């Protein structure tokens, strides 16, 4: 399968490189950096949206799906970027935000103007006759950015009630109106968008919050007093609509690669989305493993990550998708998450060790790894000290909600600082200059520690970047990584993530067995080693000075002692051991 040995690099275009001195990243900036991207050895580059947008949710509120935002460049720039990447064997992966459109999109404007055809593109519902505020809203659903998920459709009276008596659904910001996929015309329009980009040669797509498109009619309340997202998530229609989209667009290209972003999802649903015979998607992102530092499932809390729970989730998902023939996208970071290095590692004293350990944990796993820009040089959360440093609507809303709920501002800030999406959206740190080599002027979001952490320093003698390149190359060299079977190892160990991969190709070719051990602790830990791997070769480790190239001469005992945040992968290659 084309994507089993692939690695995807994610670029947040607004923050990668500013070529025209307006403080905002752009497509020509990315073109300048293609040699760097190619040097990583990746196969795809996923670009967050660069389409025209009023920018209330940084480009996820799209006002035209089939154009380039003038602040980012032109269609010619995009074609040149795709061709430049293509010359290095890299394919662009475009972000398709088809659950909702900007309220400035022509479709919503025409709905507002009263055109029935476009009203039918959206969820527009009358107020409930029975209730006082807020129960007059069509359902009790909560927006993922806070507040109710319904906003007045059209002008409002002095009490903020719509003169039309109607509300429209927005599961995200009020400027992002949910599209009603029950309408076949909406589904045809969605396929047209994908086909527009296919005509520009694009073969890879990421589908934003796509498990929200199959809402069950009639829209029903979540159980009283809860924000139970299951009422609108992973409905059975999602599978039908994805299959239909697949057949009408990307599925016509044998080399297409797709990934769906699945919020609040289940293993069972994701097997369905990705088992090849179902012709839906190639792979999925799920987020359960990135909620192990949410106290009682609440994002805006301060909590150390629950490592046993993290291990359980990674294991359950890997085993579950393997058993069902599905495929996972593997990631720690993206533009919506604080830096994993700060969450699961030690971004200070053990920055190199924890960055490389985290990378090892997912790059040798069953699935397709994603690297989010800056991760490969060990970028950290910015050293911000005030909510004014943050731009993101979600972070600002959360800060004010926490303060309104009575939290002291310092505490509210500490919480937001630990979880904010902008933590990952600071400019890529190319060098130690005032603007981090990102721009000649003040960037839209402030970098803070480029003096210590930057690409130039890593290229000149850093240890994180070369480690990532090696991991990326290994996936292509060894079928045991791209195709091998997964089994957990020492699942009950509270500190060390362990797993085995086995590949038995048959036909007399030697097979391979791989053991991966990753310590999530800043102290030494001892972990068991299976007998057949005690004499294995060291495939990769982040403590190369402490490990021999192979244990063939002097095998390990029944256990091995791991250093803080150590990653150790041992391999044996022999038909006999399989
Ligand atoms: C996805 C995107 C996020 C965006 C949201 C709404 O979760 O990754 O950035 O805010 O969808 O489009
Ligand atoms: Mg610019």
Residue pLDDT, tens place only, 76-89 = 999 999 999 999 99
Q: Is the CB–ligand 1 distance for residue 209 below 6 Å?
A: yes
Helices 236-248 and 267-274: angle between axes, nearest 10 degrees:
20
How many folded domains does the chain comprise?
A: 3
- Tell me the best of 55, 60, 62 to mutate to test the pocket of ligand 1, counting ligand atoms within 8 Å of each CB and taking the most: 60
Nearest partner of 380 among 329, 417, 434, 330, judged by Cα? 417
What is the CA(502)–ligand 1 centre distance, in A? 36
Write down which residue in 128, 159, 178 finishes a domain: 178
Is the minimum distance from the CB of 149 to ligand 1 under 6 angstroms?
A: no
Closest CA to 419 of 333, 343, 331: 343
7 plus 84 within the same structural domain: yes
Return the ligand number nearest the Cα of 337.
Answer: 1
Q: Are 423 and 335 in contact (CB under 8 A)?
A: no
In a domain, 415, yes or no: no
Task: Give, using CA atoms, the residue closest to atom 2 of ligand 1.
Answer: 208
> Residue 24 C-alpha to ligand 2 middle, in angstroms?
4
The ligand minimizing its distance to the Cα of 393 is: 1
Domain CATH code at residue 538 = 2.60.40.1180
Q: Tell me, yes or no, whether 505 and 567 share the same domain.
A: yes
Instruction: Compute CA distances 110 → 104, 375, 474, whole Å.
Output: 10, 42, 52
* pLDDT tens digits for range 137-160: 999 999 998 899 999 999 999 999
Same domain for 467 and 512, yes or no, is no
**Residue after which a domain boundary falls, among 155, 178, 201:** 178
Domain that holds residue 435: 1-97+330-382+426-477
Cβ-contact 102, 62 below 8 angstroms: yes
Q: What is the 102 CA–ligand 2 centroid distance (Å)?
A: 22
Q: Report whether residue 145 contacts ligand 1, using a CB cutoff of 6 Å.
A: no
Same domain assignment for residues 125 and 147: yes
Q: Is the backbone of residue 437 left (phi > 0), alpha (psi -120 to 50) or beta?
A: left
34 and 85 co-located in one domain: yes
Domain identity same for 537 and 468: no
Q: What six digits make up the tokens of 336?
A: 């919506």
Determine whether 185 is an active site residue: no
Q: Answer yes or no: do 29 and 157 share one domain.
A: no
Residue 520 is predicted with a pLDDT of 98
What single DSSP character describes residue 378?
T
CB atoms within 10 A of CB 170: 25
Tell me if 34 sits within 8 A of 84, measured CB to CB: yes
Give the active site residue among 77, 95, 173, 208.
208
For residue 14, being part of any structural domain is answered with: yes
Is residue 556 situated within a structural domain?
A: yes
Strand partners, 488: 499
Q: How far apart are CA 24 and CA 327, in angstroms?
A: 35
SS3 content of the chain, % helix, strand, coil (to 5): 35, 15, 50
pTM above 0.95, yes or no: yes
CATH of residue 169's domain is 3.90.400.10
pLDDT at site 575: 61
Residues 211-230 as b/e (b if ≥16 CB within 10 A, e otherwise) read bbbbbeeeeeebeeeeebbe
- Find the CATH number of the domain harbouring 34: 3.20.20.80
- What parts of the chain have a pLDDT lower than 50? none
What tokens were used for 101? 């459109």
Cβ contact 368:4 at 8 Å: yes
> 349 burial class (0-12, 13-18, 19+ CB within 10 angstroms)?
exposed
Q: 559: closest CA among 519, 522, 520?
A: 519
Tell me, yes or no, whether 245 lies in a domain. no
Whether the CB of 178 sits within 6 Å of ligand 1? no
Q: Are residues 471 and 341 in the same domain?
A: yes
Task: Specify whether 338 is located in the same domain as 437.
Answer: yes
How many whole angstroms separate alpha carbon 146 and alpha carbon 57?
A: 13
Assess whether 83 and 114 both reside in one domain.
no
Question: Does 507 lie in the same domain as 432?
Answer: no
pLDDT at 132: 61
Residue 145 CA: which ligand 1 atom is closest?
A: 10
Query: What was the pLDDT predicted at 143?
Result: 95
The answer to whether residue 243 is domain-embedded is no
Catalytic annotation present for 240:
no
What is residue 506's predicted lDDT score, i.e. its pLDDT? 76
User: Residue 185 falls within a domain, yes or no?
Assistant: no
The protein residues having their C-beta less than 5 angstroms from ligand 2 (an ion) are: 18, 20, 22, 24, 26
Scan for tokens 């369905």, then name that residue. 272
Cis previous bond, 6, omega within 30: no
Same-domain status, 7 and 142 = no
Neighbours of 517 (CB within 10 A): 27
Specify if 310 maps to a domain.
Answer: no
User: Does residue 400 lie within any of the structural domains?
Assistant: no
* CA of 61, closest atom in ligand 1: 12
3-state secondary structure of 420: coil
Q: Cα(208) to centroid of ligand 1, in Å?
A: 6
Domain boundary among 137, 156, 178: 178
């Amino acid at each position: 399968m084309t994507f089993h040995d692939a690695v995807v690099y994610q670029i947040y275009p607004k923050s990668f490189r500013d070529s025209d001195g307006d403080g905002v990243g752009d497509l020509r900036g990315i073109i300048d950096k293609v040699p760097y991207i190619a040097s990583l050895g990746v196969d795809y580059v996923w670009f967050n949206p660069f389409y025209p947008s009023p920018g209330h949710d940084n480009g996820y509120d799209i006002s035209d799906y089939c154009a380039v935002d003038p602040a980012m460049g032109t269609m010619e720039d995009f074609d040149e970027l795709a061709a430049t990447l293509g010359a290095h064997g890299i394919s662009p992966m475009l972000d398709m935000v088809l659950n909702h459109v900007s309220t400035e999109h022509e479709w919503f404007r025409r709905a507002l103007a009263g055109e029935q055809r476009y009203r039918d593109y959206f969820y527009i519902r009358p107020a409930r006759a029975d209730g006082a505020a807020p129960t007059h809203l069509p359902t009790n659903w909560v927006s993922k950015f806070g507040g109710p998920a319904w906003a007045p459709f059209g002008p409002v009276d002095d009490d903020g009630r719509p003169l039309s008596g109607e509300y429209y659904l927005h599961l995200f910001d009020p400027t992002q109106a949910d599209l009603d996929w029950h309408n076949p015309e909406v589904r045809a329009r969605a396929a047209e968008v994908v086909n527009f980009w296919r005509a520009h040669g694009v073969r890879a797509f990421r589908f934003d919050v796509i498990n929200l498109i199959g809402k069950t009619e009639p829209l029903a309340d979540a159980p009283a007093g809860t924000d139970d997202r299951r009422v609108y998530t992973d409905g059975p229609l999602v599978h039908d609509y994805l299959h239909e989209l697949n057949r009408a667009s990307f599925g016509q290209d044998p080399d297409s690669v797709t990934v769906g972003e699945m919020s609040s999802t289940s293993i069972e649903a994701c097997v369905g989305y990705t088992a090849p015979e179902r012709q839906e998607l190639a792979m999925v992102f799920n987020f359960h493993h990135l909620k192990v530092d949410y106290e009682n499932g609440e994002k805006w809390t301060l909590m150390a990550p629950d490592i046993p729970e993290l291990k359980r989730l990674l294991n359950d998902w890997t085993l579950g998708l393997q058993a069902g023939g599905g495929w996972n996208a593997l990631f720690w970071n993206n533009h919506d998450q604080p830096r994993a290095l700060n969450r699961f590692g030690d971004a200070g004293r053990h920055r190199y060790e924890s960055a490389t350990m985290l990378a090892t944990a997912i790059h040798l796993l069953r699935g397709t790894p994603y690297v989010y820009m800056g991760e490969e040089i060990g970028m950290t959360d910015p050293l911000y000290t005030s909510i004014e440093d943050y731009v993101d609507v979600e972070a600002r809303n959360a800060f004010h909600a926490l303060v309104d709920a009575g939290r002291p501002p310092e505490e509210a800030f500490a919480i937001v600082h630990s979880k904010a999406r902008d933590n990952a959206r600071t400019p890529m740190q190319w060098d130690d200059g005032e603007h981090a080599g990102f721009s000649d002027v003040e960037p839209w979001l402030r970098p803070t520690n480029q003096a210590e952490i930057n690409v130039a320093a890593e290229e000149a003698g850093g240890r994180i970047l070369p480690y990532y390149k090696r991991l990326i190359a290994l996936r292509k060299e060894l079928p045991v990584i791209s195709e091998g079977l997964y089994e957990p190892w020492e699942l009950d160990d509270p500190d060390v993530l362990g797993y085995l991969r086995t590949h038995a190709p048959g036909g007399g070719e030697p097979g391979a067995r791989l053991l991966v051990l990753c310590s999530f602790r800043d102290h030494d830990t001892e972990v068991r080693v299976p007998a057949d791997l005690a004499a294995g070769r060291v495939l990769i480790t982040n403590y190369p000075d402490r490990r021999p190239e192979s244990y063939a001469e002097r095998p390990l005992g029944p256990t091995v002692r791991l250093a803080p945040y150590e990653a150790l992968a041992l391999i044996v290659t022999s038909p006999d051991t399989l």
